[in-house]
Amino acid sequence: MAMDVTTLEGLIINKLENMGFKTSGKHAYAKVMANAVAEAVVEHISNQAEVSVTSGSSAGIYKVS
């Protein structure tokens, strides 16, 4: 399954709202923060992801693209 910024952002917003954060209104910046966090998480995981093949002729560690 591919990482998706929009889905992760929605999950973060849900969690924040469940904890009492206001995510709408003139001075509510929780959605902006949730988007920034989601983008950073997806970018970090995508850039650092590796898969380890432990046996066979393709054994080794490979970058996920």
- Structure confidence by residue, pLDDT tens digits, 7-54: 999 999 999 999 999 998 888 899 999 999 999 999 999 899 899 999
pLDDT at residue 1 in the model: 65
For 41-57, how does the pLDDT look when each residue is reduced to its tens digit (9 = 90+)?
999 998 998 999 999 99
Region of 58 (left: φ > 0; alpha: ψ -120 to 50; beta: rest) is alpha
pLDDT: which is higher, 40 or 65: 40
Q: Which range marks the domain in which residue 53 is found?
A: 5-63
Question: The tokens of 8 are what?
Answer: 């992760």
The answer on pLDDT for 65 being more than 80 is no
Indicate the number of domains in the chain. 1
